[in-house]
Amino acid sequence: MKSGQVHLSYRPLRTPKAAAFAGIAFSVLQIISYILMQSSIQAEELLEQGLLGEYARHVSIALGLLPFAGIAFLWFLGVLRDRLGHLEDQFFSTLFFGSGLLYLAMTFVSAAIAGGLVTLYAVSPDLFVNSAVLIFGRAIIYKFNNIYAIRMAGMFMFVLGTIWVRTGLMPRWMAILTYLTALTLIIGIAFWPWSTLFFPIWVFVVSVYILVLNYRYKREYDGVTLTA
């Protein structure tokens, strides 16, 4: 290769334009999974033999959607980091990635426990209903989701809101909305378990806003190119 020539394999990677849709995909899948899981875990009539099979099917559907929601959430993290660019700070990035990954990991752990309960019910439903395994499993899933995972999500949002305030990458109203939603998750979850839905809804709002910004930037860029 002659001097001054650039090898084609050295082309820099660029974030796919469709990556911003990952947050929307995560929101839709996670909301469906949350509704199915929470309604199954909290239902008092779950202990009745006739309804247990129905709720087991709901949990199975939720477990099938969660891996894809997790993949979409990782893409969403990549989009947020791409927007930070050279403004990324090591301290805030550690908190940002750490809380996001912990949220995702604990969500997967609770899903795995729920999957174990569904498998146990399929193998021996009579033994499952008459044992304390169901109560124990429900308690662990509830603790993982509504105490630990969702508070990591709140931490994730607090850090991201602080990054946006300091860098100006997002408007102030978005940062304020992020702070309020994070506070609701951290405190409100103790009074209303369905407040877990606020996190995927927030991700949906952020993703739509990023898509709008990308569309505006592309239109302005194309306009400059055409008039040049």
Contact 116, 137 (CB under 8 A): yes
| Cα angle value 84/86/92 (rounded, 5°) | 55
Over the Cα atoms of the chain, what is R_g?
Answer: 22
> pLDDT at position 147, please?
85
Structure-token match 């998750």, residue found: 185
> pLDDT at position 175, please?
92
**How far is it, in rounded angstroms, from Cα 7 to Cα 14?**
17
**How far is it, in rounded angstroms, from Cα 119 to Cα 112?**
10
24-51, pLDDT tens digit by residue? Answer: 999 999 999 888 877 766 555 555 545 5
CA dihedral 105, 111, 116, 118 (to 10 degrees): -170
> pLDDT at position 29, please?
93
> pLDDT at position 6, please?
46
> pLDDT at position 227, please?
41
> pLDDT at position 225, please?
43
The structure's pTM equals 0.79
Alpha helix (H) residue ranges in 43-195: 49-84, 90-123, 125-129, 133-143, 150-167, 172-188
Contact 5, 161 (CB under 8 A): no
> pLDDT at position 199, please?
93
DSSP secondary structure letters along 198-226: HHHHHHHHHHHHHHHHHHHHHHHHHHHHH
**How far is it, in rounded angstroms, from Cα 142 to Cα 41?**
7
| Cα angle value 174/195/98 (rounded, 5°) | 65
Distance of CA 39 to the CA centre of its chain: 19
Residue type, 159: V
Contact 138, 194 (CB under 8 A): no
CA distances from 162 to 92, 100, 169 (A): 9, 15, 11
From first to last of its 228 residues, what are the pLDDT tens digits of the chain? 455 554 445 554 455 556 678 889 999 999 998 888 777 665 555 555 455 666 777 788 888 899 999 999 999 998 888 888 777 778 888 888 899 999 999 999 988 888 888 887 777 777 666 677 777 888 888 888 888 899 999 999 999 999 998 888 888 999 999 999 999 888 887 778 788 889 999 999 999 988 887 777 665 555 544 343
Q: What is the token pair recorded at 6?
A: 């650039």
Distance of CA 202 to the CA centre of its chain: 10
> pLDDT at position 91, please?
85
